[in-house]
Amino acid sequence: MIPSPSSHHDESNTEGDLSFPSFKHKQGPRQGYNIPSSTDSVPENPSSPAGSVPRNQPSLVNQENEETKLENILNKAAMVTRTVIITTVNAAWTAPNSIFDLFLEGFRSGNQTQALLNHLVVGAMDQKAYSRCLELHPHCIALTTEGVDFSGKADFMSEDYLKIVWRKLEFQRTILEMGYSFIFTDADILWFRDPFQRFYSDADFQIACDHFGFNSTDLNNSPNSGFIYVRSNNMTIQFYNFWCKSREAYPSNHDQDALNMIKFDPFISKIGLKIRFLDTAYFGGICEPSKDLNVVCTMHANCCTSLETKAHDLQMMIDDWKKYTTNPGNRTEPHPWTSGRYCSK
């Protein structure tokens, strides 16, 4: 396990510019990178600009301007270890009294988690989400995709849903290529404790699970791409290129299903990527809840497709946590969650 990084940057300069700093993206994966097989050679230097997969940007000037804006935001939000926390939201998730409000409340209610908000970068998928983000949080970046409106509710596995989840993965890859490590967290995850205490010191890529099989190195675990801790290095950049490219092989699948298909590929071991799966005892969710508030770090409203039921159950979790923290009861016995969640019905 590793300690929480010390993280004191000057927070006096915050992103309140209403000019909608936009990190644009053209629809579809980048061209020029083939999914390597076990017989392919490993790229020599994928982290260098010359070795990176070319982006389909309108112009080099626009690309540099957009990346400069993103770099400025990341620099202000980063811990001294060049680590940031990132999430993505659209208008539906940022509506007042909805998911994003509960997400932020979780940080403020958690045990020593409020300070982590200083390191949170929010990727807004549309103008309305960006404006709402600026009302609530200092570090906001606009993520746009040409010809796509991400503002509405996207039904699970719909065409718009698939575009959103793959856009999130492209965003993560960009951050790695810029030399920043990150925790990606879906906004329907509540942070109750600092998760750095539960991460593995020897892993490049650590991911939460829908279902955990009691061995953190077992590839048969069921990963959930809503919570990932990734160190920026050559191996993780190569892996993200491989993962993003897999969209072409599995166009009807979301990023998590694609990950389940590629995680056994010999390319993973060939590049030396160390993967760890996070125990649901600490990183739980509706699919497989943590069973003890004494140790839980995060809880995810996964296995739940409706925004209304997600919001209901997230509020129940916050209420449970507040009761737990204000009650000086027995901390040696497991402290379970309240039953009756909508998502589990």
Whether residue 167 has pLDDT greater than 80: yes
Q: Give residue 152's pLDDT band: very low, low, confident or very high (50, 70, 90).
A: low
Tell which wins on pLDDT, 148 or 175. 175
Structure-model confidence comparison of residues 171 and 17, the more confident one = 171
pTM of the shown model: 0.80
* Confidence (pLDDT) at 180: 98
Is residue 145 within 8 Å of residue 151, measured between CB atoms? no
Residue 233: exposure state from Cβ atoms within 10 A (0-12, 13-18, ≥19): middle
**What is the C-alpha separation between 22 and 323, in angstroms, rounded?**
41
In whole numbers, what is the pLDDT of the chain averaged over residues? 82
27-31, 51-55, 75-79, 125-129: which is most confident: 75-79
What percent of the chain has a predicted confidence (pLDDT) above 90?
62
Does 317 have pLDDT greater than 60? yes
- 278-295 pLDDT, tens digit per residue, is 999 999 999 999 999 999
> What are 57-106's pLDDT values in tens digits?
445 556 667 788 999 999 999 999 999 999 999 999 999 999 999 999 99
Instruction: Give the bridge partners for 106, in sequence order.
Output: none
Q: Taking 80 as the threshold, does the pLDDT of residue 158 lie above it?
A: no
Q: Which residue has the higher pLDDT, 230 or 57?
A: 230
Contact 126, 85 (CB under 8 A): no
Asked if the model's pLDDT at residue 53 lies above 60, the reply is no
Residue 339 has pLDDT above 80, yes or no: no
Query: For the residues 154-176, what does the mean pLDDT come to?
Result: 78
Residue 329 pLDDT grade (very low, low, confident, very high; cuts 50, 70, 90) = confident
Poorest-confidence range of 39-43, 52-56, 110-114, 241-245? 39-43
With 80 as the cut, is the pLDDT of residue 35 above it?
no
Q: Confidence band (pLDDT; 50, 70, 90) for 9?
A: very low
pLDDT band at 56 (very low <50, low <70, confident <90, very high): very low
Are 20 and 130 in contact, with CB atoms under 8 Å apart? yes
Instruction: Tell me: pLDDT of 205 over 90.
Output: yes
| 247 — pLDDT class (breaks 50, 70, 90) | confident
What residues contact 239, with CB distance under 8 A and at least 6 apart? 204, 205, 268, 271, 273
Q: Give the model's pLDDT for residue 344.
A: 64
Looking up tokens 């990150």 gives: 182
Residue 49 pLDDT more than 50? no
Q: Does position 196 have pLDDT exceeding 80, yes or no?
A: yes
Q: What pLDDT score was predicted for residue 7?
A: 42
State mean pLDDT over 19-41.
Answer: 39
